[in-house]
Amino acid sequence: MAYRDIIYENRYLDGVARITLNRPEKLNAFSARLLDEFFTALAEAEDDDELKVVIIRGAGRCFASGYDLNPPPLEASEESSAEPDGRGLSWSFFRKGSRRRTGTAEDLRYLYFRATKWLSLWDYRKITIAQVHNYCLSGANELAGTCDLIIASEDAVFGHPAARSQGNLPNSFGALWAINMGLRQAKWLALTGKTMTAAEALRVGYVNKVVPREKLEEETNEAARSVALMEMDFLTLHKRAINRFFEVAGLKTCINTGVEFDALVHASEASQRLGAEFNKIKQEQGLKAALTWRDARYADGRTAGRGVQAQEKRK
């Protein structure tokens, strides 16, 4: 398959493939086409018996900023190029005209699809390593958080600022964030919409290793080589044995419950009111202005500079 929004290297290293999210001009925001291509590349790697490890990274300034809040229109040819799931659905399917979410039932249909797709990465036969630099925000944590290992640069930033007005994040806030970083930190990020640094992410166990930015690729490659030394049978069974512990504890049930809570958030009066204002500002002034409005009361995010200046004036 010819990819446009990702770069797939099936022989990046011996036994190692690499997928690069390749929308640097949009901070690798997840468009429908990018996600369809990403999961198609994963399927291609899974079917390749010579591969044991898949590295996932972002091109340009950051790993990924989350789902695209200002998505481009889909081209008519894109639906046929998407890799559908067992029900014939793809990310592009939900971006096609009348199929876009209208009402709670359609919202749930999409959210269950989304959770199922990210859980396919949890169940993935090969070992996945997220190579994270700079921003890993909102939906990007559904990708990185479902990977087996995360190697981060010192400038990495993790969080879900969209919790402030755009909804829950089932795979991260529900089960996986609580598992990956513990109850207290997961609640802190969910209830404040704040972010955590790479050092904080290492302290709470969200990432495996933090390295200087200039050594990120080298250290990630070394981790991939170390994993690839083991036989695939052992890797798969080790991964499934550890995952099974959390599945028995209810991980998948919690993620599905998170989907339902996300739909409830979307249907709430607050979400409808804030969403309408956010969309109005986005249409009239652009996405940056809408994000600035969203974060203004918190004095961080796109308004961080203004918040610091305001605090200094009050002193």
Class of domain 6-267: alpha beta
Among residues 214, 202, 216, the alpha carbon closest in space to that of 158 is found at 202
**Is residue 75's pLDDT more than 90?**
no
141 within 8 A of 158, measured Cβ to Cβ: yes
177 within 8 A of 146, measured Cβ to Cβ: no
Stated pTM of the model: 0.87
In this prediction, residue 310 carries a pLDDT of 36
**Is residue 143's pLDDT more than 80?**
yes
In this prediction, residue 228 carries a pLDDT of 98
Close Cβ partners of 120 (under 8 Å, ≥ 6 residues apart): 39, 42
In this prediction, residue 74 carries a pLDDT of 61
d(CA 286, CA 302): 13
Report, as an integer, the average pLDDT of 40-52. 96
Low-confidence winner among 40-44, 92-96, 153-157, 310-314 (lowest mean pLDDT): 310-314
**Is residue 278's pLDDT more than 70?**
yes
SS3 label, residue 277:
helix
In this prediction, residue 159 carries a pLDDT of 92
**What percentage of the chain has pLDDT greater than the value 90?**
54
Low-confidence winner among 100-104, 135-139, 163-167 (lowest mean pLDDT): 100-104
Rg, Å, the chain Cα set: 19
In this prediction, residue 226 carries a pLDDT of 98
In this prediction, residue 175 carries a pLDDT of 67
In this prediction, residue 217 carries a pLDDT of 98
Q: Rounded mean pLDDT of the chain?
A: 86
Which residue has better confidence, 211 or 108?
A: 211
Report, as an integer, the average pLDDT of 55-61. 98
Domain with CATH 3.90.226.10 in the chain: 6-267
Close Cβ partners of 154 (under 8 Å, ≥ 6 residues apart): 198, 199, 210, 211, 212, 213
Which residue has better confidence, 24 or 267?
A: 24
d(CA 40, CA 19): 11
Report, as an integer, the average pLDDT of 159-188. 79
**Is residue 81's pLDDT more than 70?**
no
Report, as an integer, the average pLDDT of 196-212. 96
SS3 label, residue 135:
strand
In this prediction, residue 181 carries a pLDDT of 87
Q: What's at 126, amino acid-wise?
A: K
Digit-coded pLDDT (tens) for 249-276? 888 888 888 888 888 888 889 988 998 9
Report, as an integer, the average pLDDT of 281-300. 88
Report, as an integer, the average pLDDT of 232-261. 91
In this prediction, residue 196 carries a pLDDT of 94
Strand arrangement of the beta sheet that strand 6-13 belongs to:
6-13, 16-21, 53-58, 127-132, 149-153, 209-211
Low-confidence winner among 71-80, 144-153, 174-183 (lowest mean pLDDT): 71-80
Which residue has better confidence, 112 or 207?
A: 207
Residue 135's DSSP bridge partners are: 157
